[in-house]
Amino acid sequence: MSESPTSLRRRLKGFQHDLRGARKVAKALISTDHPLLAHIIPMRRCNLACEYCNEYDDFSKPVPLEIMFERVDKLGALGTSVVTISGGEPLLHPELDEIIGRIRKNGMITGMITNGYLLVADRIQRLNRAGLEWLQISIDNVTPDEVSKKSLKVLDKKLQLLAEHADFHVNINSVVGGGVRNPQDALTIGKRAVALGFTSTIGIIHDGSGQLQPLNDEEKRVYREMQSMSKRSFTRINGFQNNIAEGLPNEWRCRAGARYLYICENGLVHYCSQQRGYPGISLTDYTVNDIRREYLTEKGCAPNCTVSCVHQVSVVDSWRAPQHPAPPVVTPASDLVHIE
């Protein structure tokens, strides 16, 4: 059976995306003074309320377009390689296409994480025209339940629309652990993704601070079978996840705050979505000196971390630049309270 024109375009653009990604990695091997991946949040509000998620609310307004442009331009000035738009639900932002276009104008690879509920044919075609290069949807179960409404039953028609219209790469991420009722659902979701011409990955649901939750025997079996289905590439580093599945810590040098930046809706730089508050510096004021400091700063949460995007970018520098514990916070003498 011959491929559809849309599928052929998607494959060609995927090849071009991989070439650009390879060039970005080559640049990263030469210099460590720029971020490889940044997550930006243009919209904290979400149309869903998944029980395990701590990255949304139900009231926030969209970040104004001019402010998003300033943040994107700053990421470009810092030499960022890839920008992922996340949330909340980014498709709720009324000017999302303009944000995507601004990222592309700055020469950065552009991706998005969405729950997929708001995708229709026209919306997908607009994402094509805006220049989106890859999209990920996480699907948690086959049938919706009290833990998650991101189910294959609800989203399968959206996946069919993506297969028909999307010129960009699509990855479907299924999950195990963390209250997912039936681990076998991950296999059903993964097989459906592959049948539609998408890539398929699997994640392990973490606790509220991004930390390790070991899998039971059935979850481990499903995880191993899913890993055998996943396409391997330089952006998929399975060693971290394998240890997490076994309940084992990882020894690695987390480069959050340097190679990876998480920029919240308020424009502050954080280590990641699960460690919001550190370093807590405005992106406007973030400099190469901040990048160099955080590059060399040891992160106490790293051994039991399950945030795979940080694993993926940090592995580029795993062989160099040993890290050191963060210096203690010294309170200025003028701020001390003296008790007589």
Please report the DSSP string for 53-79 in residue order: --S-BSSPPPPPHHHHHHHHHHHHHTT
Residue 340 belongs to some domain of the structure: no
Residue 302 belongs to some domain of the structure: yes
Question: Which CATH number do you get for residue 322?
Answer: 3.20.20.70
177: left (phi over 0), alpha (psi -120 to 50) or beta: left
User: Could you tell me the residue range of the domain that residue 10 belongs to?
Assistant: 5-335
Residue 164 belongs to some domain of the structure: yes
Q: What is the pTM of this model?
A: 0.87
Closest CA to 266 of 286, 281, 252: 281
Average pLDDT of the chain, as a whole number: 87
- What pLDDT score was predicted for residue 240? 83
Q: How many domains would you assign to the chain?
A: 1
For the stretch 27-62, pLDDT in tens is: 777 889 999 999 999 999 999 998 878 899 999 999
Report which of residues 50 and 114 the model is more confident about: 114
Separation CA 99–CA 279 (nearest Å): 25
pLDDT at 145 over 60: yes
CB 56 within 8 Å of CB 24? no
Antiparallel, parallel or unpaired: β 82-87 and 37-43? parallel
Residue 17 belongs to some domain of the structure: yes
Q: What whole-number percentage of the chain has pLDDT above 70?
A: 85
Report which of residues 11 and 282 the model is more confident about: 282
- What pLDDT score was predicted for residue 39? 98
- What pLDDT score was predicted for residue 87? 95
Separation CA 273–CA 288 (nearest Å): 22
